[in-house]
Chain A
Amino acid sequence: MSATFQGTTRKRPASTSRMLKALAFLTPAAVMILIFVFYPVIRTVQLGFQNFNLFDQTNIGYNGLENFRKLVEDPNFVRVLKNTFIWVFVSLFFQFTIGFGLALLMKKKFKFIGIYQGLIFIPWALSGFLMGLVWKWIFDESFGVLNDALLKLGLIDTRIPWLSNGNWGMAAVIIANVWYGVTFFVIMILAALQGVPTEMLEAAELDGANRFQTLFQVIIPYIRSTLILIVLLRIMWITNFPDLIFGMTSGGPAGRTHIISSWLIEKLTFDADWGAASALGLMTMLILFVFTLFYLMATRLEKESGV
């Protein structure tokens, strides 16, 4: 084996031609990415500083920071940011905690674990928008099964206006989002847990560590960099996941459940104000970028995993 390997190594062509070959393999993918990912970003930057209304294309032109000014002065702006913050971090907290707990419970194989995983992982494969419609039906004030169950259990006396009140609305969309997103954490954390060497766990047991100590002093430090990375990925993903909200409330009532991304969709479709929508997209990117920098500094991820 080593002989053949050396043989090919000797025959290796000069590095420029190797680079050309590699580039030939990469070109189709790279072209698609340039056209459909990087070009749109540049165009969005341009649109963000332009007056551009899809329905009135007579006076398209640069207008400086006008779009940003309009957004910041919008009475909805502060609430949208606040809602986004609540939506992201409350959802994340429950998704992570429940996901971690379930992953710990599933770490040791049990009978039918294959079927069990198949079933609880289903939300991952479902359309956020369609499941938003399903949750809308469950949360329906008059005919929804949830209010009925709460009444029957004696937990409430009057029906909760789940989707017609801003605060209850945020609670409802977050509950649905927790339902939707736990799967991701179970999959990722379970995989990470299975990577913890059994010798480490046995050693901890020999040292007389109880389960709590093993969890916090052995397991969590070992998978820390994975946890940091998936939490970051998820924060970005949840920020840009308006599908559920779109199905459940469309941001209503009166814009009370809008987050930054569902507001962007409304600006894009309902208002057809593409300048403002693009400016909002740029703000989202900037916020996420700054957040990522602070997050990585705070967690010092790069030191540990070489990312």
Chain B
Amino acid sequence: MLTAFGKGGKFTVLTIWLLFTVFPIYWMGLTSIKPKREVNDLYYIPNSGATLDSYRTLFRDYAFGIFLRNSLIVSLVASFIVIGLGILGAYALARYEFTGKSQIMLAFLATQMIPGLIALAPLYLLMQKLSLLNSLIGLTLCYVGGMVPFSTMMLRGFIQRIPPELDEAALIDGCNRFTALFRVVTPVALPGIAATFIFSFVQCWNELFLAMILIDSEGNKTFPVAMRSFIGGYWIEWGGLSAAVMVGIIPTVIIFGLMSKFMISGLSAGIVKG
């Protein structure tokens, strides 16, 4: 196939896909720096008139700083807790044989068949009961619960690949199972842990519907929820909107860009083999 189409063909196809992939982001970036009058000018070429006004408006007039902060706190805290709980559970599933283990694993996998959207109404009612509506703590707890099953299975895959002799040796040296896990196993599993962490951070950062239903007050909105109210009207101001989109995607793009190699091996290992 490749012979019929040659090396040139291969790189043409790869380049076309690359352009298609980055175009929407490039286009948003370009729109975000156009002066207001020229937002609808499709042939705008950045010149001395290019401006960061759209960005300034976001932070000065719409308090996007607060939304970013909320998103950052929720995503970071949820991901840390997920990793903590996930490592403990994954260790048990990777290292112990016990009755009911396969049933527990099946229950973990079964959660992946449940559409997250059906949990929206019940979680609202639950948070209402716990007086955690409209609270970042409530939102964080829900995120943790939703992400623990997948992260645990992913981490289990990584821990399983570490030879058990390593923790056996640590046990001989006077560690108990718990300290062996944190002093010996965790450091070796670090690349896998990092991949799992980024995976859950990205999920939280991008989550819209649960945050939309649970969070009501301006001061507690996460970034996607704020974006939704930002576009609420019929009239969309594309300059401001594209600046906001850029601000919203930059964190995950940077993290992913820095760690992509890591992520790719981590994700595929976790999903395909886990």
Residues of A that sit less than 8 Å from B by CB: 1, 4-5, 7-8, 15, 18-19, 21-23, 25-26, 28-30, 32-33, 35-41, 43-44, 47, 98, 101-102, 104-106, 114, 116-131, 133-135, 137-138, 143, 145, 148, 179, 182, 187-188, 190-192, 211-212, 215, 226, 229-230, 233, 236, 239-240, 242-243, 246, 261, 264-265, 268-269, 274, 277-278, 281-282, 284-285, 288-289, 292
Q: A118-B256, A127-B249, A240-B115 are known contacts; what are 16 more A-B pairs with Cβ within 8 Å?
A: A22-B98, A28-B89, A32-B144, A122-B25, A129-B208, A133-B245, A145-B27, A148-B42, A179-B24, A215-B1, A230-B272, A233-B112, A243-B208, A261-B117, A274-B121, A284-B115
Q: Which residues 120-141 of B have a CB within 8 angstroms of A?
A: 120-123, 125-126, 141
CA distance A265 to B272 in the complex (A): 31
Q: Looking at chain B's contact residues, is the secondary structure mostly helix, strand, loop, or mixed?
A: helix
Evaluate contact between A122 and B22: CB separation under 8 angstroms. yes
Residue with the highest number of chain B CB atoms closer than 10 Å, among A122, A127, A269:
A127
Residues A138 and B24 in contact in the complex (CB < 8 Å), given A8-B172, A26-B93, A268-B121:
yes
- Cβ of B261 within 8 Å of any chain A Cβ, yes or no, is yes
Residues in A neighbouring B202, C-beta threshold 8 A: 125
Residues in B neighbouring A148, C-beta threshold 8 A: 42
Evaluate contact between B115 and A288: CB separation under 8 angstroms. yes
Residues in B neighbouring A35, C-beta threshold 8 A: 126, 145
Evaluate contact between B145 and A122: CB separation under 8 angstroms. no
Evaluate contact between A246 and B115: CB separation under 8 angstroms. no
Q: Which residues 136-193 of B have a CB within 8 angstroms of A?
A: 141-142, 144-146, 148-149, 152, 165, 168-169, 171-172, 177
Instruction: Report 5 cross-chain contacts, Cβ distance below 8 Å, ordered by A residue.
Output: A4-B165, A105-B13, A118-B256, A229-B272, A281-B115
Evaluate contact between A47 and B121: CB separation under 8 angstroms. yes
Evaluate contact between B248 and A127: CB separation under 8 angstroms. yes
Residue with the highest number of chain A CB atoms closer than 10 Å, among B91, B115, B168:
B115
Evaluate contact between B98 and A130: CB separation under 8 angstroms. no
Residues in B neighbouring A211, C-beta threshold 8 A: 1-3
Residues in A neighbouring B171, C-beta threshold 8 A: 8
- Cβ of B252 within 8 Å of any chain A Cβ, yes or no, is yes
Evaluate contact between B264 and A21: CB separation under 8 angstroms. no
Evaluate contact between A39 and B117: CB separation under 8 angstroms. no
Task: For the complex of A and B, list the 8 residue pairs with the smallest distance between their C-beta atoms, beginning with the closest.
Answer: A36-B145, A191-B268, A281-B118, A29-B89, A43-B122, A40-B122, A25-B92, A22-B96
Residues in B neighbouring A33, C-beta threshold 8 A: 107-108, 111, 145, 148-149
Evaluate contact between A114 and B261: CB separation under 8 angstroms. yes
Residues in B neighbouring A134, C-beta threshold 8 A: 24-25, 27-28, 242, 245
Evaluate contact between B117 and A187: CB separation under 8 angstroms. no
Residues in B neighbouring A21, C-beta threshold 8 A: 92, 96, 177
